[in-house]
Amino acid sequence: DHPLLQLLADPRALGLRIADGLWLRLVDVAAALEGRTYARAGRIVLEVGDAFRPDQAGRYLLEARATGARVTRTRARADLALDTSDLAAAHLGGTRFHSLARVGRVGERVPGAIERADSLFHSAIPPWSPGLF
C-alpha cells in the first residue's frame, strides 16, 4: 500500500519485485503477545502450532487491555488455530488474519474470531524497517 503506486502515471512499468524485508520468529509466544500493544481491549484464545519449538505449541488466552496484555496457557476452546509463523506475520500488524484465513493458514474455530483478531492486532502504521538483513 505504498503511496508511490498512486503517484506513478503507469505503475505497471515500475516492475515490482516482492522480497522479504522484515521477518520475525516468535521464540516465546506468551512474551511476544504480552510485549505489544493492542488496538482495543478484548480477549481471544489462540491455538498455536510450532514444529520447530514444540514447547511453544498450545492454547494461549490473550486478554488485551488499555493497561497492557496478559497471556496465559489455557485449555479453553480455541477461537483461532494457526502456526507460529502465521502468528508472527500478524504480530506486527502488517498482515491481517483475514488474509491468512482466506488462503487456509488460519482456522476460525468460533464464528467472528477472525474479525475480532484483526481488530485487536490492527496497526494504523504498517511495520517497516529501513535495513535489510
pLDDT in tens, 105-118: 999 999 999 999 99
Domain-located, residue 13: no
Which residues lie below 8 Å from residue 17, measured CB to CB, with a gap of 6+?
Answer: none
Q: Considering the domain boundaries, does residue 130 fall inside one?
A: no
Is 14 domain-assigned? no
Give domain status of residue 111, yes or no: yes
Strand partners, 80: 46, 108
Q: How far apart, in whole angstroms, are the C-alpha atoms of residue 100 and residue 90?
A: 9
Cβ atoms < 10 Å from Cβ of 118: 18
pLDDT above 90: residue 133: no
Do 23 and 131 form a contact (C-beta atoms < 8 A)? no
Residue 18 lies in a domain: no
pTM for this entry: 0.85
In a domain, 12, yes or no: no
Contact 57, 50 (CB under 8 A): yes
Pairing of strands 58-65, 42-49: antiparallel
Phi and psi at residue 83, to the nearest 5°:
-85, 155
| Full domain range(s) for residue 42 | 24-121
Whether residue 75 lies inside any domain: the answer is: yes
Contacts of 83 (CB under 8 A, 6+ apart): 48, 49, 50, 51, 105
Query: Distance (Å, rounded) from C-alpha 39 to C-alpha 124?
Result: 9
Tell me the CATH number at 92. Answer: 3.30.1050.10
> Domain count of the chain?
1
In a domain, 7, yes or no: no
pLDDT, one tens digit per residue, over 51-105 is 999 999 999 999 999 889 999 999 999 999 999 999 999 998 889 999 999 999 9
Query: Cell numbers at residue 99, please?
Result: 488474509
Tell me the pLDDT tens digit for each residue of 4-55.
777 888 877 888 777 667 788 999 999 999 999 999 999 999 999 999 999 9
